[in-house]
Structure 1
Amino acid sequence: MKTNESVENEGLLVRRIKNGTVIDHIDGGEALNVVKILGITGATQEALSIATNVPSRNMERKDIVKLTNRELSKEEVNRIALISPHATINIIRNFKVWEKKGVEIPTLIEGIVRCPNPGCISNTNEPITSKFEVTSKGLHCKYCDWVITKDLTSHII
């Protein structure tokens, strides 16, 4: 019979993936937001594994998302960086980590975030994309000067 301690030391019982992406070190409780901003629904083709509130040596708790047969674009990685700046992206090919990189929050974000100001020119029919500067106070709209300071997930396009 296994004790609780021996079960905890066995690690996660989530199946390895042959090809795809593992998003690790997601801030605890943010995995479902990551899935949402990647546009993954029950109707999409990739198999998905999610682990939430997993103990971590480097973080109090973390989430993990595994996607089969899908590698993320730079724009998708930038979206993840906005809600989980400590996340790491692991590209898996033939069951091995092919590439591992951390996310980086860009200094200028274009076309990823929607301005919450209904009067902003980026929310009209003008042929422009939203532009935000990343500052210590939050995301600063380059068109109307609004600053988004929290709940970024609801503004990510």
Structure 2
Amino acid sequence: MRTVIVGYDGSSTADVALAWALDYARHCDARIRVIRGWTMATAPRPASMTLGYVPPLEEFEDAVRQRLRSDVERVVAERGAGVEVDCDCVRGAVANGLIEASRDADLLVVGARGKGGFRGLALGSVSEQCVRHAACPVVVVRDEHSADVDRIRD
């Protein structure tokens, strides 16, 4: 079965990219693997974390995976009928994780830009790295905010 990797950071652009990937996967009989990158600074806090106790990394990873599942739930419910969807997370730089995952994928789908800091960019750093270094074809999905960048430049 074909595998489509989707980079997902929780942004509205990531929702559009996931919806596109779900439609593609349904037509091509592929499965979706949604990946979110995380660091200790970006991970949601595990329920076991208390003042003076820092849980093991596995609990942070589980918290990230649970949040990811929760974040993609609506889009998958709306567009994912009949498509197998797995959620995974990678600790560290998200571009590196997506590029590594692309080695075992048929297609990598990312949004043009996510939650990163520079709103005026037409292409974010993660999508740029994926386009340059992925081991499979890459689809960069734009949303209405990407179109605004074109209007600003005119």
Question: TM-score, normalised to structure 2's length?
Answer: 0.29
Higher RCO (C-alpha under 8 Å, 6+ residues apart) = 2
Flag the structure with larger Rg. Answer: 1
Whose strand proportion is higher, 1 or 2? 1
Whose helix proportion is higher, 1 or 2? 2
